[in-house]
């Protein structure tokens, strides 16, 4: 039975591609041809369909872009989360009576306020 080549879609096809790209992060045309042959061999017409090399190249570009976005998000979120934890653990100024503690807390608040300006709150949501 001949099956039409369809774009990568569905969980099994995406997993199949993503596993291949994870093992071959910079696939050559020869590697993509090999992957296309593996798709053709696995094609069942229900969950997996044959792929053209051009379709695999398109999916690879999207996969690479998504990985870059995840990496940027991870690098952005980590400093923000550390900042928010420090902010949550900071004592409230109104509850302090010792002048040295008040001075330390005010200095910490000032430092954290300056950091807040550099923390992009669209990628750094406040904890609930």
Give the integer Cα–Cα distance in Å for 31 and 21.
10
Predicted confidence pLDDT, tens digits, the chain (128 residues) = 588 888 999 999 999 999 999 998 899 999 999 999 999 999 999 999 999 999 999 999 998 988 888 887 777 776 667 766 766 666 554 555 555 555 566 666 666 666 555 555 444 544 44
Q: Is 1 among the domain residues?
A: no
Q: How far apart are the first and last CA of the chain?
A: 54
> Is 4 within a domain?
no
Would residue 58 count as lying in a domain?
yes
Give the number of domains in the chain. Answer: 1
125 lies in a domain?
A: no
- The answer to whether residue 128 sits within a structural domain is no
> SS3 breakdown of the chain: % helix, strand, coil, rounded to 5?
70, 0, 30
Q: Take residue 81 and report the two structure tokens written for it.
A: 């989360």
What is the structure's pLDDT at 114? 61
Given a contact cutoff of 8 angstroms between Cβ atoms, the answer to whether 127 and 88 are in contact is yes
In a domain, 15, yes or no: yes
Burial degree of 73 (CB within 10 A; 0-12, 13-18, 19+): exposed
Q: Which domain, by its residues, includes 65?
A: 11-118
Are 5 and 50 a contacting pair, CB within 8 Å? yes
Q: Give the pLDDT score at 37.
A: 95
- 126 within a domain of the structure (yes/no): no
Q: Is residue 123 part of a domain?
A: no
């Amino acid at each position: 039975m001949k099956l039409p080549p369809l774009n990568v879609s569905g969980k099994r096809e995406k997993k199949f591609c993503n596993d291949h790209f994870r093992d071959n992060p910079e696939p050559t045309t020869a590697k993509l041809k090999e992957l296309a042959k593996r798709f053709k061999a696995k094609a069942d017409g229900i969950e997996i369909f044959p792929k053209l090399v051009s379709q695999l190249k398109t999916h690879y570009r999207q996969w690479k872009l998504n990985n870059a976005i995840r990496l940027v998000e991870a690098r952005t979120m980590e400093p923000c989360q550390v900042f928010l934890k420090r902010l949550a653990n900071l004592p409230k100024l109104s509850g302090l009576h010792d002048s040295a503690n008040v001075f330390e807390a005010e200095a910490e608040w000032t430092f954290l306020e300056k950091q807040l300006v550099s923390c992009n709150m669209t990628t750094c949501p406040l904890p609930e």
